[in-house]
Amino acid sequence: MAIHNVPIPSRQLYIDGEWREPVKKKRIPIINPATEDIIGDFPAATAEDVDIAVEAARRALARDDWGSTTGEQRAKYLRAIAAKVLERKSELAILESLDCGKTLFESAADLELSIVNGHMESCPGSGCRLCSNTLSRLNYTCLELGEICREVGLPPGALNILTGLGPEAGAPLSSHPHVDKISFTGSAATGSKVMTAAAQLVKPVTLELGGKSPIVVFDDIDNLDIAVEWTLFGCFANTGQVCTATSRLIIQESIASAFLDRLILWTKNIKISDPLEEDCKLGPIISSAQYEKVMKFISNAKNEGATILYGGERPQPTIITDVNTSMEIWKEEVFGPVLCVKTFKTEPEAIELANDTEYGLASAIMSKDAGRCERFTKVFQTGIIWINCSQPSFCQLPFGGKKRSGFGRDLGEMGLEKYLNIKQVTEYTCDDAWAFYKSPSKN
């Protein structure tokens, strides 16, 4: 097991610029996925804490030191926060790996593109206040963000961080009458509940939910190994626990056998270890509960007639063939290192298979035919499209999907706009009367 010398912090809820103990004084243990040892705990917010945090946020919006600040003034805070995050990146990456099981490389990279930071930059950057509920994971780095905001002098209430569980903290936040906007990232099932709660008050919602994304590989690719590596990275990065994971490989029949042979060889070469170890490429699944769900998906696929071509046991990545479109493994998001494979002969067949999903987050195509790639960008029913790659993400570009994958966009200018309210202002400057009504006669 890898050794680290980063102290494990113990924080409270971050509300109104201060660390506050939850009203009910509850805490939840944090389990290291790599060892299954309890390494700490985090505060469990409830509806009472949500009320306190929301009121703190509304006071911040009403004060001149935050609500009346300009974009330039808010940008100074954001730059100071970013500088602090970079300064502590090594420490924060270790904490995230201990919390979630990500490899150190992935933790460090995700610090710059994480869901929390993505929302955090957009929301205060637009002058709004934010209550962030991190549910049961990502608590160390999220709470340390509160400490960083305190250090840089972010005005009290501009950012409030509530950790806890969905029913106790997330649900009260979604339905709170003084929360003006909800931006949620998570499962489609939970997203539906968030949307239902928000609808009771006609509250705007942005949802970034799950996916069952395709990667379509044509036989005209120049280099088989390049396409194989992108296929592995698209599905097995972060142990497959990525909403955009291209977990459905749709491969042209003429190269399927050779491609799968190379795919297995590359998969066998993946270093599986403690995520803190150097060059680890695949760490543990985030929790025992999620592990059991993943294994259930694999078992169900086998029972439905699919073939476990490789893996299927802990802690291996898994490749499943002989899949048909009625199977659960083809339809549902696994959120684990499981790739299902289906072949095609013609381009129209590939298009039909790629769009054969209720989700619409991401898709990828591997082909040297530029015209074909352009056609697929038009016919893919997704919000994110990769050409000859899978998973590269840039904070300048809008991120989001359609269908059961949600709606609205994070990141980029569109990620900022969702927190803004457009006002129409009309001023009458003419000295003449409007003269719509007849003026009463003067005596």
- What does the alpha-carbon distance between residue 419 and residue 140 come to, in Å, rounded to a whole number? 26
- What does the alpha-carbon distance between residue 361 and residue 131 come to, in Å, rounded to a whole number? 25
Phi, psi (degrees; rounded to nearest 5) at 229: -65, -40
Grouping H, G, I as helix, E, B as strand and the rest as coil, residue 349 is helix
Give yes or no: 243 in active site. yes
Grouping H, G, I as helix, E, B as strand and the rest as coil, residue 323 is coil
- What does the alpha-carbon distance between residue 159 and residue 173 come to, in Å, rounded to a whole number? 14
Give yes or no: 340 in active site. no
131 within 8 A of 47, measured Cβ to Cβ: no
How would you classify the pairing of strands 384-387 and 159-162? unpaired
Please report, in angstroms and rounded to a whole number, the separation of the first and last CA atoms in the chain: 98
Looking at residue 21, its amino acid is E
Q: Which residues of 185-209 are buried (b: 16+ CB within 10 A; e: fewer)?
A: bbebebbebbbebbeeeebebbbbb
Q: Which of 123, 243, 280, 340 is catalytic?
A: 243
Using alpha carbons, select from 109, 77, 118 the residue that is nearest to residue 90.
Answer: 109
Q: Which of 131, 208, 235, 280 is catalytic?
A: 208
Q: Which two tokens stand for residue 68?
A: 């009346």
> DSSP letter string over 44-94?
---HHHHHHHHHHHHHHHHSTTTTT--HHHHHHHHHHHHHHHHHTHHHHHH
Q: Which two tokens stand for residue 183?
A: 């931006």
Grouping H, G, I as helix, E, B as strand and the rest as coil, residue 408 is coil
Active site residues: 208, 243
